[in-house]
Chains A and B, each alone.
Chain A
Amino acid sequence: MFEPTYNATFPVLSVLIFSPLLAAAIALAFRDERLLRWWTLGFTVAAALFSLPLYGRFDASTAAFQFVEDRSWIPALEVRYTLGLDGISLLLVLLTTLIMPLCVLASWRYIRTRVKEFMVCLLVMETAMIGVFCALDFVLFFIFWEAMLIPMALLIGIWGGPRRVYAAVKFFIYTMSGSILLLVAIIALYLQVGSFSIPAMMGREYAPGFQCWVFVAFFISFAIKVPMLPFHTWLPAAHVEAPTAGSVLLASVLLKMGTYGFLRFCLPITPQAVHVFMPYVLALSVAAIVYGGLTALAQSDLKKLVAYSSVAHMGFATLGIFALNRPGIEGAILQMINHGITTGALFIAVGIIYERLHTRELDQAAGLGPRMPIFATFLVVFGLSSLAFPGTNSFIGEFLVLSGGFMVSKVMVVCAVPGVVLAAAYMLRMLQRVVYGGTRNPPHAGVTDLNWREVLTLAPLVVFVFWIGLHPQPFTRVLHASVERLVEQTAVANASELTWHD
């Protein structure tokens, strides 16, 4: 189950993971802030270009892990340094490397104090984020997973808004306490399997009771990260207070780690427990879709609006994952990528408004359209993408998720449909206000349209919105084999008595 199909000697993933750390170390030596920004931008662009060949060299016909590196690391604890990619993680790695330069660009003017420390934090984040998606040793995964907390908390706590201390502490405590049981589950699995290797843990027959406990430990940890409905309260605070780059990273990459955890660990390691808990998770997902939509509808702060829309969008992702069939899971992965692109773009857009108006209030931002036509165009594209307008990326994702969900439970899907309508409601309301406004808009004197840097920040994301929306084949192509195997691993012999009846 664990044979590398790509036998290059070049440790491409290690280089990808640790070069940002090196870049951060070099950045410490810079004195000139301008130079520092250019250095970080240049490096992140280089890393993104460097990661592109991964897609080309990826063999989509197999579900095996590729680009595998496997070395002894801590023999005394039997921890190994194992990296690898499959179809599920490949797109997420590419998403991470793509988002990074945009984060640097979005912080170009926004971050004025302690630029060096900010850039170092961003680069350390890049190392940890790529590491999470590439790690195939569970301890290595956990190390990257937890190491991410520190730079992220610093990003929120130092460069954030007025309530940044509260938000940073809440984010940290929430996510850290979520992952403590994960560590226990990892050790418990190790004692059953005899190694920390993630592929070795998959597809084994564990006792059902054991599976349930491990699933619960996994679930709490990942559900907080997603965040799923009862665990979502850290998200609006963190999003609202974080600087633009922090919000983008949170939305585009960090939230994906929760759903990635479900896909990588819950489904293949504890399939029976997944079937037991599936109805509850589906119910929570649907609740998140409706709740997120309703709450977003009531927001007057643009960032909060986007943050709650995240809760709803991630609800679609978990709905797809726990449908446990191919369209559902592929749709969920696409939805993860789409959410990364669209919501990341929306946060950048809100950041652009904030830089000009120094407020994120919807009323204050009303009627920007005439003053900022280019911006308005971008905003409408991303807004439509967010409400899953046909032809945009999210439509494909949500369609697949709903069709996957339909095979499992019609009731659930019918309950989720109001969420789709709500998305249209809150997004169109936001677009209408920002682009046209009412009869008594604020004057917005002196507000300028996007400069080339901001256009450059948003333009790549527009490309992806339509690319995935009109021609998703290149993206779903790499998923098929891995998802196929995942569905097989998750299938349980006596599933019929466990699954949801409507």
Chain B
Amino acid sequence: MIKASLLAFLPELTLLSGALALFLVSLGDQLVRRARQVALITALATLVACLFSLGQEAVLFDGAYRVDAFSQFLKLIFGLGLVLLVLLSGELPDIRPEVKPEYFLFLTLSVSGLTLLVSCVDLLTLVIALQLSSFPLYLLVPMRREGTARRAQMESAIKYLMLGIAANGIMLFGMSYLFGLTGTTRLPELFARLAPQMDSPVAIAALALTLAGIFYKLAVFPFHFWTPDVYQGASNETASLIASLPKVGAVAVLVRLVSLAAPEQESVALLLAILAVVSMFYGNLIALAQDDLKRLLGFSGIAHAGYALIGFVTLEQAGFTAALYYIVAYLFMVVACFVVICQVSTDGVNLGFGDLAGLHRRAPLLAVTLGVGIFALAGLPPFAGFIGKLALLKAALAKGYLVLVILAVVNTAIAAYYYLGVIREAFFREPGDRPLIAVGLPVRVLCLVLLAANLGLGILPGRVLESISTSLAGVSGLDQPALVSAAPARQSAGAAAPPGPP
């Protein structure tokens, strides 16, 4: 029994012990190379641990933590993402030398927060995991080197922190209502008790406020304000992290919350649909006017968050599957773009369009990686983004959201313009006197992995879609068996949860 639960918790344990090791390294002689090695080993070990624990099912910590097919699939993605990000970070050219080892520490901690997040089935653990994944990010942003007239990172860090805490406050406020309405923090029970009250405005407001904290991570429209500034202010490596893994985590939590809440509720769907449409239009239209590539990806990220929300509007499993597939694909697409940005940027400066000129001559592999990443973001087949888009549109149209679907495809057409701007610079322009770019072995491997992922998810998405779909069946079918198995645990944990419905 203990052994089984240990195996189920293995990825988190690996990550946390890796973080501890990194903490020890960071106390020492500030060798970035050693920290990087430890981080890479941790990441690979996590990946292996995730593979081992893939089939595990367990309820841990008095029912507050649930290991199921859904969480293990996402942990595998996070493990893979961590490997990619450590490889991408390289020697951290743009991080202040004295904190370079700490960078890897916080990176690992943030990812460990995400792995915890996807298993949480209790409001309290959810909040804690969310904070554990967020706080390291708040610290990573100001770690960028300072230079003359380069203090934007401080502004972004403050902005990120303040808005993050505000979003948190809103989320906690919403959670307090949820607790007040139901008298429990355990999600399956909470939503079971909430279901009869879903017609009341309080319940809808409580749910909406709670979702706000997640929307902040995902950068959905009214909670998006930090995105472009933080992308711009943070170093390229940090922006790659912020742009990728937390969004997967956010969508995963949304899937858990929304599928448990299962509100056959027009108003919730309408709310999500409005947020999706506004996010898409806002992100895409403003991205049209950007020069800074990271800001461009920031705004396009807002738009992609809007696409992912389309899956939630359906309030059913096909939509959730599509959203999750889309965001996993988005991870690989956006990391592919960021790898190139990190490599092309000399000395860690932010890149404009012009800096990409003639990339296909200066570094063909990077150009192809960027091209595939951008075309995938634009939703062109045969890359990952297309299948994601197809699945999303299919799910939404099946529920009759024709207008939403048409607005979404209109947005893909708008987005094509600025994505093509990137392609235009990288492929159609001459390099002029810009230097060739040497690409090291780790980056080559990284590029090939990303190319394979983007193509693989676009051509052979069957397995991934099915595993997401079956793992989701476990999540939404959670209410009955989980309640039974969690019931004895609940009595022992009675002290933790304040008693009694209001």
Contacts and interface: CB of A to CB of B under 8 A. Distances in A.
Interface of A: 73-77, 117, 139, 142-143, 146-147, 149-150, 153-154, 157-158, 164-165, 168-169, 172-173, 176-177, 180-181, 183-184, 187-188, 190-191
A143 B410 contact: no
B393 interface: yes
Contacts of B391: 76-77
Contacts of B380: 146-147, 149-150, 176
A257 B289 CA distance: 34
Contacts, number: 91
Nearest to B461: A74
A157 B412 CA distance: 22
Closest CB pairs A-B (n = 7): A76-B465, A143-B381, A157-B428, A177-B413, A180-B409, A165-B428, A74-B462
Given A154-B427, A183-B409, A184-B393, 8 more contacts: A139-B390, A147-B380, A147-B381, A150-B380, A158-B360, A173-B417, A181-B409, A187-B394
A158 B427 contact: yes
A22 B502 CA distance: 68
B412 A180 contact: yes
B461 A76 contact: yes
B152 to A, nearest CB: 31
B398 interface: yes
Contacts of A168: 424, 428
B387 interface: yes
Given A173-B417, A180-B412, A146 B386 contact: yes
B347 to A, nearest CB: 29
B348 interface: no
A157 B461 contact: no
Interface string B362-401: 0000000001000100101110001101110110011000
Contacts of A76: 321, 391, 461-462, 465-466, 469
Contacts of B493: none
Interface string B400-430: 0010011001101100110010011001110
A188 B409 contact: no
Contacts of B465: 74, 76-77
B420 A187 contact: no
Max chain B C-beta neighbours (<10 A), residue from A149, A184, A191:
A184
B382 A143 contact: yes
Give the dominant DSSP class at B's interface.
Answer: helix
Contacts of A188: 397, 402
B138 to A, nearest CB: 38
A124 to B, nearest CB: 11
Nearest to B409: A180
Nearest to B458: A143
Given A176-B413, A184-B405, A184-B409, A150 B375 contact: yes
Contacts of A184: 393, 397, 402, 405-406, 409
A184 B403 CA distance: 11
A154 to B, nearest CB: 6
Contacts of A158: 360, 427-428
A163 B398 CA distance: 44
B409 A73 contact: no
B412 A169 contact: no
Interface string B453-466: 00000000110011
Contacts of A177: 413, 416
Give the dominant DSSP class at A's interface.
Answer: helix
15 contacts: A74-B462, A76-B465, A77-B394, A117-B360, A157-B423, A157-B428, A158-B428, A169-B424, A176-B380, A181-B409, A183-B409, A184-B393, A184-B402, A184-B406, A191-B398
A173 B375 CA distance: 13
Contact of B410 (A74, A150, A180): A180
Max chain A C-beta neighbours (<10 A), residue from B381, B424, B465, B466:
B381
A165 B429 contact: yes
A482 B199 CA distance: 57
B420 A169 contact: yes
B415 to A, nearest CB: 10
Interface in B110-134: none
Contacts of B390: 77, 139, 183, 187
Contacts of B360: 117, 158
A180 B413 contact: yes
B75 to A, nearest CB: 21
A266 to B, nearest CB: 19
A190 B420 contact: no
A164 B409 CA distance: 27
Given A77-B391, A157-B428, A191-B397, A146 B381 contact: yes
Contacts of A183: 389-390, 393, 409
Max chain A C-beta neighbours (<10 A), residue from B380, B402, B410:
B380
A157 B428 CA distance: 5
A73 B387 CA distance: 12
Contacts of B394: 77, 187, 190
Nearest to A178: B413
A164 B380 CA distance: 22
A149 to B, nearest CB: 7
Contacts of A164: 428
Contacts of A180: 409-410, 412-413
A236 to B, nearest CB: 19
A314 to B, nearest CB: 24
A181 B406 CA distance: 7
Nearest to B466: A76
B416 A173 contact: yes
Contacts of B416: 172-173, 176-177
B463 to A, nearest CB: 9
Nearest to A142: B381
Contacts of B382: 143, 147
A302 B424 CA distance: 27
A173 B416 CA distance: 7
A157 B427 contact: yes
Contacts of A169: 420, 424
Interface string B468-502: 01000000000000000000000000000000000
A139 to B, nearest CB: 7
Contacts of B427: 154, 157-158
A146 B428 CA distance: 20
Max chain A C-beta neighbours (<10 A), residue from B371, B393, B394, B412:
B394
A173 B461 contact: no
A172 B321 contact: no
A485 B83 CA distance: 57
Contacts of B375: 150
Contacts of B417: 173
Contacts of A190: 394
Interface in B189-226: none
A150 B420 CA distance: 10
Contacts of A157: 423-424, 427-428
A169 B416 CA distance: 10
A188 B401 CA distance: 11
A187 B390 CA distance: 8
A295 to B, nearest CB: 27
A435 to B, nearest CB: 36
A119 to B, nearest CB: 15
Contacts of B405: 184, 187
A96 to B, nearest CB: 19
B12 to A, nearest CB: 29
A73 B389 CA distance: 17
A127 B465 CA distance: 26
Contacts of A153: 423
A146 B397 CA distance: 21
Nearest to A180: B409
Contacts of B413: 173, 176-177, 180
